[in-house]
Structure 1
Amino acid sequence: MTSKTLVLVTGGNQGLGYFAIQQLSTTDDYHILMGSRDFEKAEKAIQTLSDDKSIKANPANVKPIHIDTSSDESIQAAAKAVEDKYGRLDILMVNAGISHAPGTTREHYRQVFDTNVFGQAVTVEAFLPLLRKSTASGGKRIAFTSSDLGSLRWALESKGLYSGVNFPNYRSSKTAVNMVMVHYARLLEDEGFIVGASNPDLNLRHQSIMCQYLGSGYCATNLDAYGGAKDPREGAKVLIKAATDSKESVDGLVVDETGSQPW
């Protein structure tokens, strides 16, 4: 058991999830479960937190947990493990995702949607009973990781890299995630839940200038072979914003550094 706000971050051993955990762990307000489909990688990531003397992260606030969001059995086992040890969950950050997959067109879409959409919905359903037991002062929280690539308006209006011509399977999965988020925001609002999503990428309203010089506005993580222009530490701040800001700021919205993005 823990009296701290209990947070689970899926896909937490690398990329944006890792840096969100790094930042959350700098205070003693949170006890964080680093979700990973590879338990040893989570353990190594926590050791990296401990070894990095340039930050004030406290690895004692972070524990590894195995959860593969492409496996219903793994998700259910993780929920059971949290129930047995803690009896509740306060914040669920549904972050695990992939950007591409090998195979035919059908296989591309199937694998990306399986992880980015179906896996996130199954994860929320599995942890809802534990979230309902939360008594955290900030409310019961669910935060999805989305992307500005999921905006239909921006896909239609943008030129170059961010045009709807590009990344059809990944960006359509993020559009679907946005609808899943809205579903839970409305379904759970009378129960005191706050449900939102983050767009951790560079604000697309500035892309026309920045992309000429930087190539892209997304965060440099393993999803894009570290080719993005934005420091993932900055992107992680938006994940935390979606998980901790006021209901008025994030509920039913996809938020970025400056506000919310259009659909």
Structure 2
Amino acid sequence: MSPRIVLITGANSGVGFATAKVIAQASENFHTIIACRSLEKATSAISDLKKEETKGQLSPIKLDVTDEQSITEAATQVHQQFGRLDILINNAGIASQHPDLKTQLQQCLDTNVVGPVLVSAAFRDLLLQSPNPYSIYISSGLSSMTKTLDPASGEHFSLWKTYKISKTAVNMVAVQEAAEFRSTPLKVFAVCPGLVRSYLRGSSEEDITFGGKAGDPMVSGETILSVIEGKRDGDVGKLIHKDGVYPW
């Protein structure tokens, strides 16, 4: 039995790296493609992953979600090497803090929305070659309009406006994909990884830990593993988190 082929964008740190680690340690039935903006980052991530025991196979690929040529070349490489893709995890993301509002919004939209749309489009034919394909978009509880409109919710007072806008847009991307391909085996999810240690907010320890409030991204990886193992199929087409489902 050939392993299921998984591709994770932005897999060299944070949620992407943790997810790759969880999947690689879970079973030999997964071959995880570590997709990063440079081949050097992908190779380095694999080296770090192999410092602990792994069961599944790992391979690097260059994929910059803000570069259409890079996306096309990566899809071609996966097609030539594997002929299909079983699981696509659109994880690469940014929470721009650029002082210019327009630039901040553009950076968030380019990486968090346009990138995943183009990546999914480029890899969709490969996904549809799989007998059991999954398309996963890393979103956020901050994207929920219902929670944002609730004055009692922490999301109501969040200052991460451009990031929230981009992740709400990603939810629509997921919903549209789920609707368009509902007659196929493709299962689409938007996944909130939770507040975890990540370079998303910056590179200082204060940013990475969100002032010490951020949790272990391995928990996020376990949530995603449960999705691709079919344990969350009852929530297909929804915005899920480790303990349930968030309202749109």
TM-score (norm 1): 0.86
Given the alignment of the two structures, is residue 162 of structure 1 paired with residue 187 of structure 2, yes or no?
no
Distance 1:50 1:99, change over 3 A: same
Secondary structure of 2:166's match?
helix
Deviation at 1:221, TM superposition (A): 0.8
Deviations along 1:31-52, one digit per CA (max 9) or x if unpaired, are: 1100100211111111111223
The counterpart of 1:190, out of the listed 156, 162, 183, is: 183
Secondary structure of 1:157's match?
coil
Partner of residue 67, structure 2: 71
CA distance in 2, matches of 1:85, 1:126: 15
Partner of residue 34, structure 1: 34
CA distance in 1, matches of 2:232, 2:158: 34
Partner of residue 145, structure 2: 152
Given the alignment of the two structures, is residue 222 of structure 1 paired with residue 218 of structure 2, yes or no?
no
Partner of residue 121, structure 1: 117
Secondary structure of 1:260's match?
strand
The counterpart of 2:78, out of the listed 79, 82, 85, is: 82
Deviations along 1:149-199, one digit per CA (max 9) or x if unpaired, are: 001111121558532451000011110000100000111110111001111
Moved more, 219-228 or 62-71: 219-228
CA distance in 2, matches of 1:93, 1:244: 14
Deviations along 1:30-77, one digit per CA (max 9) or x if unpaired, are: 01100100211111111111223xxx324x611011000001111000
Gap runs ≥5 in structure 2: 202-206
Deviation at 1:126, TM superposition (A): 0.3
Gap runs ≥5 in structure 1: 202-217
Deviations along 1:112-133, one digit per CA (max 9) or x if unpaired, are: 1001001000000000111111
Deviation at 1:235, TM superposition (A): 1.8
Deviations along 1:214-239, one digit per CA (max 9) or x if unpaired, are: xxxx1111113312421111122223
Q: CA-atom RMSD, angstroms?
A: 1.8
CA distance in 2, matches of 1:161, 1:259: 18
The counterpart of 1:257, out of the listed 239, 242, 245, is: 242
Q: Identity of counterpart residues, as a percentage? A: 30
Give the ranges of 4+ consecutive aligned residues of structure 1 lying more than 6 Å apart after TM superposition: none
Equivalent residue letter for 1:187: E
CA distance in 2, matches of 1:31, 1:88: 12
Report the count of equivalent residues. 239
